[in-house]
Structure 1
Amino acid sequence: MSVAPHFAPRPLDHCAEFGADGDPALVLRSGTLSFRELRERLGRLSAWLRHRAPAPGARVASWAAKGELTCLLPLAAARAGSVHVPVNPLLKRAQVAHILADSGASLLIATGSRLDTLAQGDVPHDCAVWEEAAAIGEAMSAPEGLGPSMADPDELAAILYTSGSTGRPKGVMLSHANMWLGAVSVADYLGLEREDVTLAVLPLSFDYGQNQLLSTWRAGGCVVPLDYLFPRDVAKACARHGVTTLAAVPPLWVQLTELDWPPEAAAPLRRLTNSGGALTEDLVRRLRGQFPQARLFPMYGLTEAFRSTYLDPSLVDSHPTSMGKAIPFAEILVINDAGDLAADGEEGELVHCGPLVAQGYWRDAERTAERFRPAPPMSLYGGMAVWSGDRVRRDAGGLLYFAGRRDAMIKSAGNRISPQEIEDAALATGLVAEAVAFGVADARLGQAVHLVVRAHAAASDAAVLLPKALMQELPNFMQPQVIHWRDAMPLNPNGKLDRTALAQEYGA
């Protein structure tokens, strides 16, 4: 497919209009929905939402595991003229209460077990509460549903709450156009087709996870949502459903490459996609060795600008640490500290421009002004841009490389140290499977470098060998003062390494 004829953005719910009536669209525990059935049920759920939350732009929150409700709501809310607020099912009542209050939700649909955990005052007094099964049951009993919407693509379609390094989660405002063009873009560069089957293992409250649905349906393919308990559940599902497309974040890829994959699970895979953190060279080699027939797509993005870059699979072996180039509909600029375009090899801030840039943070003008600022004058798109805070370099061939985050830099003995560089060095030894570095206050150094690691399953004497290896690879001022060994690393609700929790645990 080509993105050129589809540049004009459409209402988000149109993503469901491209599959053939009889083709499978969604595999649920209760059975498989064809695209015709998907569209019928989408229409009924949209009509029910219009009845239960009639005000234009009403915020509709969902707090449930993957299933029919959470898969249909992104499109149904958009069709009904509502704004979807997906709540990560792993969050606890305090975070949920904040999201409900902050978003001004007028309707919450959740599983009964999750509703039972809420205390008095957690749900705003003007927010109606529905148990998931009851909502689906009533919605599907409607005699007819709403047809495809004619919404203005610039209207708000969703608020995705994302956690930062400090403070409470903030709601990123996404329009129909943001999400529609994101689906078109990803379906295009991944080469998704009608025959593809996507295993949706990532949280649907996560923009990367939600795009699994939207891009696959935009291409007319089938989605298999999976809430897994163990990594082996992913491999089993791949075998059972003939999965062709698998998206994950680095901690999950590490676990998946430690499994023995049967041929019936690995062979159908055509493409693997990664975001939410960089792949290490070692992990790239393991993925390429374990799934040689699959195209590997390393990607980079942030919720405020959806997806930004991807590395062409043909370049993965020769440039395994590159972030690649801009995805369709994204303009990526590298701006140096003087405010000019950075030269080849010069470090600068990655700035996102174009129609994938979100509309800002919900009801938070101060934090919006910090991150969303006018695009640099050399931008082809102009308008508002997302100033990411990420430091990158662009080589002479146009490929981008991550250097670190400005606000994550460790300042030790007058030196500015990138945690990424220390982590990369630790992982490159082959002794550890996961690593997180940060600075801890130190009276002599300002900040001392601390490194938290999980040993590689095949490594012996790692605790003895790692400090020696790092002494060979890193200058003295970058050496960890303390190395913390763990049997397991904490993950945040999106499945990424929980750097904030580790930093707080060790006093950073």
Structure 2
Amino acid sequence: MTAAPDPTVHPLDHLVLKGARDAPALVLRDRSLSYEALNQRLGQLAAWLKAMVPQAGSRVATWLPKSELACLMPLAAVRAGLVHVPVNPLLKRAQVGHILSDSGARLLIANPARLQTLETEDLAGARPHEEGAVWAEAETCAPLGPSSAAPDDLAAILYTSGSTGRPKGVMLSHANLWLGAVSVAHYLAVTEVDRVLAVLPLAFDYGQNQLLSTWFAGGAVVPLDYLTPRDVLKAVERHDITTIAAVPPLWLHLAELDWPEAVAAKLRRLTNSGGALTEPLVRALRKRFPAARLFPMYGLTEAFRSTYLDPALVDAHPTSMGTAIPFAEVMVVTDDGREAGPDEEGELVHAGPLVAQGYWQDAVRTAERFKPAPAFSKLGGMAVWSGDRVRRDALGLLHFAGRRDAMIKTSGNRVSPQEVEEAAIATGLVAEAVALGLPDPALGQAIHLVVRAKGDAAVAGAQLHGALAQALPGFMVPRAIHWRAEMPLSPNGKLDRTGLYQELSAAVPQG
């Protein structure tokens, strides 16, 4: 039986001190950094950050692909006593401007092309810096040593869309990120010989953990911004990759590729989150990568990760969410507050040290999601009430039953319907809009937009999709737009979202 992981919490920037000094830690396009070099480089970056933003606790943002600076920033910022705000590189001007304004970021590091898309008002007081210029100055700095931060000090704010309104910032402490790294490295059994291909955006909790859990275990991270699934296959072959973390749409494409047997055999560990794997996809992955252990997982940014399914159980229970990860207490709570019995549906509630500190400057939404743990909780304290409906079977395995809110989960991204609707109305082409997520075998959910034209319907019909493609990141652009002369209303006078969902579900083929 594997020993329980050590729950001791150190400041987050100590993670890179665990690897062997000469062992590879970060494999870039043109060179590799050992753990010793990684520590040196992040120390220099931290020194530059502290000189630029001396006030402890200030927020600093990055809007970058998976460059060296993007990979080092989660640790360099906290070593400088600052709070990192990573911005998804897929986002565009409006979303970036909101995040900079809401977080109060003091500076933004990005590449020149991205900075050129922003106006002064979008920066909201953040000083812009080009990535190359930052390194030119940082390399002249004497490196800062590891910090002495407290476990509950704020380390990062990760922005995630809610079921309504604009993205909200989830506040993560040193302990949240450190124990998340320890937990994942433990149950995945990552070691110093592993080479992890980082394909997920580093602005996601799951993407960031690719770095932190690997470095905690002493392994090597290979960051990859891929254009096609075949780029992933080539990287596995070139870098002898042992581990990939991905979301269902990418796994679907990877399973469809013709993998040379020797290349497929390099993979020892496949991990999934950001949406459930279907049984056909599980079977396809098990067939395509027979030597790899498959880890289906469930998580939410407000508590990082809640459950995983032991690979030994995947073949017999391919759609299960599994059981709680180390350091998490996962409960199924009925509507009347009881602990649900076997196969009784209830809300998934997560307690323990992985629970985030709430939403940045948003007491109302924090109080809606972060509430005291139920009376029967073993760990107690503040818990995340997920809104997701689950059941626990007689074997103790959890199964997803449904989602309480209207969140759209597409291609591993959480999308607020209201944000899509606001973008449509902002074009001036539509008067009313309802965004819905319909089941889709490749995306998980596909975004469908129902609208009523404002003015000339023919002009609106010809221009709306293009206008949305300019205003929104690709994953938020609706798959289909449905035009209505009048929008249906519910008995209380609101737009009838439920009726529209039922109508479109019956009319649109589900693949």
Q: TM-score range by the shorter chain?
A: 0.7 to 0.9
The 3 A distance-change label for structure 1 pair 120 and 409 is closer
Tell me which residue corresponds to 1:129: 128
Taking the aligned partners of 2:13 and 2:34, their CA distance within structure 1 comes to: 16
Judged with a 3 Å threshold, the aligned counterparts in structure 2 of structure 1 residues 64 and 3 are, in CA distance, closer, same or farther, namely: farther
Amino acid at match of 1:132: E
Aligned twin of 2:189: 191
Supply the AA of the counterpart residue of 1:165. S
Instruction: Tell me the CA shift for residue 224 of structure 1.
Output: 0.4
Note if 1:447 corresponds to 2:499.
yes
Residue 320 (structure 1) aligns with? 318
Output aligned runs, 1:431-442, within 5 Å. Answer: 436=446
Query: 1:293 — aligned with what?
Result: 291
The one-letter code of the counterpart of 1:170 is K
Name the CA shift for 1:190/1:5 in 2 (closer, same or farther; >3 Å): closer
Task: Name 1:37's counterpart in structure 2.
Answer: 37
Equivalents in 1 of 2:128, 2:196: separation in Å?
A: 32
CA contact (8 A) 2:5 2:326 kept: no
SS in 2 for 1:99: helix
Residue 181 of structure 1 and its aligned partner are, at CA, apart by 0.1
* Segments of 4+ moved more than 4 angstroms: 1-5, 432-446, 448-452
Secondary structure in 2 matching 1:363: coil
2:269 alignment partner AA: R
Distance in structure 2 (CA, Å) of the matches to 1:112 and 1:29: 20
SS in 2 for 1:6: coil
Trace 1:11-50 onto structure 2 (pairs within 5 A): 11-50=11-50
Do the aligned residues in 2 keep the contact of 1:244 with 1:271 (CA within 8 Å)?
yes
**CA RMSD for the aligned pairs?**
2.4
Is 1:209 aligned to residue 207 of structure 2? yes
* 1:61 matches 2:54: no
Q: State the TM-score, normalized to the length of structure 1.
A: 0.83
CA contact (8 A) 2:299 2:305 kept: yes
Separation in structure 1 between the aligned mates of residue 28 and residue 188 of structure 2, nearest angstrom? 24
Match of 1:51 in 2: 51
Q: Which moved more, 1:432-441 or 1:56-65?
A: 432-441
Residue 498 of structure 1 corresponds to none
Rounded to whole Å, the distance in 2 between the matches of 1:283 and 1:436 is: 18
TM-score normalized by the length of structure 2: 0.82
Provide, for residues 62-88 of structure 1, a one-character-per-residue CA deviation record: whole Å limited to 9, x for no partner.
Answer: 011111110000000111110000001
Asked if 2 retains the 8 angstrom alpha-carbon contact of 1:438 and 1:451, the reply is no
Contact 2:163–2:405 at 8 Å: present in 1 too? no
Change (3 A) 1:222 1:53: same
Q: Return the alpha-carbon distance in structure 2 between the equivalents of residues 321 and 438 of structure 1.
A: 26
2:507 to 476, 482, 486: 482
Unaligned segments of structure 1, at least 5 residues:
411-418, 453-479, 487-508
Q: How far, CA to CA, are the matches of 2:449 and 2:99 in structure 1?
A: 30
* Equivalent in the alignment of 2:145: 147
CA distance in 2, matches of 1:438, 1:346: 32
What is the SS of the residue equivalent to 2:379?
coil
Whole-angstrom distance in 1 between the partners of 2:380 and 2:180: 19
Shift, 1:42, TM fit: 1.1
State the alpha-carbon separation in 1 of the partners of residues 152 and 174 from structure 2. Answer: 6
How many residue pairs get matched? 442
Partner-residue secondary structure (3-state), 2:33: strand
Distance verdict in 2 for CA 1:409–1:337, change over 3 Å: farther
Preserved contact between residue 11 and residue 151 of structure 1 (Cα < 8 Å): yes
Q: Secondary structure at the match of 1:307?
A: coil
SS at match of 1:407: coil
Q: Give the Cα–Cα distance (whole angstroms) in 2 for the partners of residues 114 and 433 of structure 1.
A: 27
Q: In 2 relative to 1, CA 231–338 (structure 1 residues): closer, same or farther, beyond 3 Å? A: same
Deviation at 1:18, TM superposition (A): 1.0
Aligned-partner Cα distance in 2 for 1:113–1:192: 37
The answer to whether residue 235 in structure 2 is matched with residue 237 in structure 1 is yes
Match of 2:256 in 1: 258
Distance in 2 of aligned mates of 1:350 and 1:4: 24
User: For the Cα contact (< 8 Å) 1:199–1:247, is it kept in 2?
Assistant: yes
Q: Distance in 2 between matches of 1:182 and 1:157?
A: 13
Whether the aligned pair in 2 keeps the contact of 1:66 and 1:204 (CA below 8 Å) is yes
* Residue 468 of structure 2: aligned partner: none
Instruction: Tell me the percent identity.
Output: 65
CA distance in 2, matches of 1:439, 1:88: 23
Structure 1 distance, partners of 2:95, 2:258, is: 37
Moved more, 366-375 or 261-270: 261-270
Aligned match of 1:91: 91
Which position in structure 2 is the counterpart of 1:73? 73
